[in-house]
Amino acid sequence: MILKSQVEWALHCCAILAGLPEGRYLSTKALAELHGLPKEYLSKALQSLSQASLVETTLGPSGGYRLARAPSEINFLEIVEAVEGKARSFTCTNIRENNPCRPAGYCDSKPCAVARIMWEADEAWRDTLRRVRLSDLVGTLSEEVPADIWRSTFEWVLKRAG
Amino acid sequence: MILKSQVEWALHCCAILAGLPEGRYLSTKALAELHGLPKEYLSKALQSLSQASLVETTLGPSGGYRLARAPSEINFLEIVEAVEGKARSFTCTNIRENNPCRPAGYCDSKPCAVARIMWEADEAWRDTLRRVRLSDLVGTLSEEVPADIWRSTFEWVLKRAG
DNA sequence: CGGCTTTCGGATACGATATATCCTTAATTC
DNA sequence: GAATTAAGGATATATCGTATCCGAAAGCCG
State how far the alpha carbon of A69 is from the alpha carbons of A21, A55, A72, A74, A134, in Å.
13, 8, 8, 7, 10
Q: Could you give the CA distance from residue A72 to residue A135 in angstroms, rounded to a whole number?
A: 5
- For residues B38 and B32, the answer to whether their CB atoms sit within 8 Å is yes
Q: Which residue of B has its CA nearest to A95?
A: B35
Confidence of residue A90 (pLDDT cuts 50, 70, 90): very high
- Phi, psi dihedral angles at B84 (to 5 degrees): -95, -20
pLDDT at A38: 97
Beta strands in A9-133 (DSSP E): 55-58, 64-67
Tell which residue, B109, B104, B49, has the closest CA to residue B80: B49
pLDDT tens digits along A62-74: 999 999 999 999 9
State the amino acid at position A162 in one-letter form.
Answer: G
Per the DSSP assignment, residues forming a β-bridge with A64 are A58
Q: Which of B33, B93, B101 is best to mutate for the A interface (most A CBs within 10 A)?
A: B101
pLDDT at B132: 98
pLDDT at B28: 98
Going by DSSP bridges, is the β-strand pair A55-58/A64-67 parallel, antiparallel, or unpaired?
A: antiparallel
pTM: 0.95
pLDDT tens digits along A74-83: 999 999 999 9
Strand, coil or helix: what is B133?
A: strand
pLDDT at A162: 82
pLDDT tens digits along A49-62: 999 999 999 999 99
The reply to whether B5 Cβ lies less than 7 angstroms from strand C is yes
The C-alpha of B60 sits at a distance from chain A's nearest C-alpha, in angstroms, of 25
Tell which residue, B61, B59, B60, B69, has the closest CA to residue B17: B69
Interchain contact A7–B (C-beta under 8 A): yes
Calculate the dihedral angle through the C-alpha atoms of A40, A46, A50, A54, rounding to the nearest 10 degrees: -170
Interchain contact A35–B (C-beta under 8 A): yes
Lowest-confidence pick of A94-98, A101-105, A113-117, B148-152: A101-105
* Residue count of chain A: 162
The C-alpha of A28 sits at a distance from chain B's nearest C-alpha, in angstroms, of 15
Per the DSSP assignment, residues forming a β-bridge with A58 are A64
For each successive 10 residues of chain B (162 residues), what is the average pLDDT? 96 98 96 97 98 97 96 98 97 96 90 98 98 98 96 96 89
Interior angle at CA A135, CA A86 and CA A44, nearest 5: 45
- For residues B122 and B89, the answer to whether their CB atoms sit within 8 Å is yes
- For residues A13 and A83, the answer to whether their CB atoms sit within 8 Å is no
